Structures are given as structure tokens and as C-alpha cells.
Chain A
Amino acid sequence: MHQLPSVRSYVLVWLTLTIMTFVTFYISTIDLGDWNIVVALLIAFFKMMLVILIFMNVKAESPLTKLFVGAGFFWMVLLLGQVAIDYISRTWMPEGKMW
């Protein structure tokens, strides 16, 4: 059907994912202030992309499937982004809180 990744690339992805798990764990013990959550989410996003592209083999899927996968992300960006904009911008008002 589709071009399948080699066993070697599967094992490399697994190795990267495992190392990244330890990195996430280790970085969480260092105090980076507000950047802790940013780094943790960036690593999680990187891990997710590896799983989607290689393990789920979206890399070799049809353009239509890729579009659907992209639509899922776009929906998440809308949901989280719009809500975040609302909550972040509330404190910008002079009164501090709007409700």
C-alpha cells in the first residue's frame, strides 16, 4: 500500500521518544519560571509529531488524509488559542478583572 518506514527508523524514533521523556523529567526539576511549561509542551509537541509522522506513517498518507490530520490541529489551535486570548487579555483592562 504505502511506503513503510524501516525498522531502523522505528527504533530511532522510539529511542528519541524515550530520551525526550527523560529530558522532560529532568528539565522539570530545574526552575525556569514560566518557561518550564513552554519547554515541556514544546518537547511534547515534538514527540507527538514523531509519533504521527513515523509511527502512524502520516508522512506517506494521501494528501486528503494529511489535510484531515491538519484540520484536527487547526481545530485545537482555534479552541485553545481563542480561549487563551480571552483569559490573557482580561487582565489588560484597567480594572484588572472584567467579571
Chain B
Amino acid sequence: MAEPHGAVAEHNPNLRHHFDSMEQQFDSATLGMWVFLLTEIMFFGGMFCAYMIYRSMYPAAFASTSQHMNPLWGATNTAVLIVSSLSMALAVRAAHLGQQKALQILLLITIFFGLCFLGVKAIEYHEHWVDNKVPLIGGHWDYSNTPEFPNQAQYARQAQILFCFYFFMTGFHAVHMIVGVGLMLTIFAMAHKGKFNSSYFTPVEISGLYWHFVDIVWIFLFPLLYLIGHTKNLI
């Protein structure tokens, strides 16, 4: 009882009482975030699985339909997300090293590229809306022959399936991006208030994990949705 509790005197204010050390607290938070990301893998995994089945059933229709996606926008967005992942990784590094100014600047860069991605996505969705390629909304679906894409009308019904996958998969991905931008704004506000230092930056680290995960989903969506009909060999 009379023991002086020397360890308590050096207690880090950011260390929760149920953890032994900052190291253990950090590892627990990282592991917990990965558990959440595993549920996200299951969430997107179901859609990838359904996509795999329908693509194996209608390969020609999927290849033909994919030509309505603009691979240049898709590639641009891939590059944009990769840059944002770089700035995010550097932000975590800056937080780790206690560089507060660099952390805030890098978070703003990450947010900027995240918004760029969403802007490009909005342009693409608008193009599909104008081209009547939205299968779920009455009066916005037209898959008849056009001069640049002849003989596509035969795939009208299967094309709806690919466009459903396209809108659901990129849509849920975009929702994750919006959440990610909100997350980054929160982290930026916390960094601005000086909540982080080189011994405590767990929120930066685990938000970074989320951001990179969303990037990984897009790395797979890009070739699977945009590039399958690129060779035009299956029409």
C-alpha cells in the first residue's frame, strides 16, 4: 500500500488503464482494426464472388458491356487513389516521428485526392445517366445498337447484370471513400488540436489502414469492371 508506484508517476496520459503499455495498446488497436477490415473483406468478397459467377456465365456479354466504362477515367482514379495512399502512408510516418505540421499537410493532401476520386466518379456516373445505362431506374436503360458498338443489343439483358455489379460495387466503394474523407477530416481536426505526439498516434494509424484497404478494393475493381472488353475480341 505504501509503495510509491513509481510507474504511475510516468504514466502516459494517453494510456488507458486496462493496457500494460503503449506498445500493447497500439498492437490491440491495430489488431482490432484488422478484425473490422476482415468483415469488410467479407462484405466486398460476397460481391466479388457473385461477379465471378455471372462473368463465367456470360463472358461475351460482360466483355461487350464493359466497353461502356471509360478505362481512362478508371486508370486516372487508380492513379489518384495510389497517390492518396502514398500521402496517407507518409502522414502516418510523420505522426510517428511527431512532425505535426507535416502530418496536417499530408492529411489535407490525402483528403484532396480522395475528393478528386469522388469527383471523377461523379462525372462517370453522370455519363452513364446521360447514356441511359442505369438499369435500376425506369426510363434510364437503353442498350440498343449504336454505331460505335454494333451487335450489342443481343446482350441487353445480361448487360443489365454487369451494370448492376458496376453500380453496386463502385457505389459501395464510393460510400467507403466518403466515410474515409470524413474520417480524415476528423483526424485532421484532432491533429490540428495537437492531440497526437510521437508516443500516441493510434487514430492516425488505424484510419490509415482503412484508407489503404479502400484503395486495395479499387485495385481489383479497376481491371474487373473497366478492362474486360478492352480487346474487343469477344463481340
Contacts and interface: CB of A to CB of B under 8 A. Distances in A.
Contact of B49 (A17, A28, A57, A80): A80
A52 B53 CA distance: 27
A36 B86 contact: no
B56 A87 contact: yes
Contacts, number: 132
A28 B45 contact: no
Given A14-B86, A79-B45, A80-B49, A56 B212 contact: yes
Interface residues of B, number: 50
Nearest to A65: B31
B212 A83 contact: no
A75 interface: yes
A95 interface: no
Interface in B29-82: 30-31, 34-35, 37-38, 41-42, 45-46, 48-49, 52-53, 56-57, 71, 75, 78-79, 82
A65 B30 contact: yes
Interface string A45-69: 0011001101111000110110011
B184 interface: no
B96 A4 contact: yes
Given A7-B93, A21-B78, A28 B42 contact: no
A48 B222 CA distance: 13
A72 B82 contact: no
B223 A62 contact: no
A14 B110 CA distance: 14
B135 interface: no
Nearest to B50: A83
Contacts of B23: 1
Contact of B27 (A21, A65, A80): A65
Contacts of B118: none
B223 A28 contact: yes
Nearest to A78: B45
Contact of B223 (A40, A54, A57): A40
Contacts of A13: 86
Contacts of A71: 38
Contacts of A11: 86
Given A51-B216, A84-B52, A75 B38 contact: yes
Contact of A44 (B27, B85, B220): B220
B230 interface: yes
B171 to A, nearest CB: 20
A16 to B, nearest CB: 10
A84 B50 CA distance: 11
A42 to B, nearest CB: 10
A37 B48 CA distance: 14
10 contacts: A10-B86, A14-B82, A29-B230, A33-B233, A37-B228, A40-B224, A72-B41, A75-B45, A83-B52, A87-B53
Interface of B: 22-23, 26-27, 30-31, 34-35, 37-38, 41-42, 45-46, 48-49, 52-53, 56-57, 71, 75, 78-79, 82-83, 85-86, 88-90, 92-93, 96, 208-209, 212-213, 215-216, 219-220, 222-224, 227-228, 230-231, 233
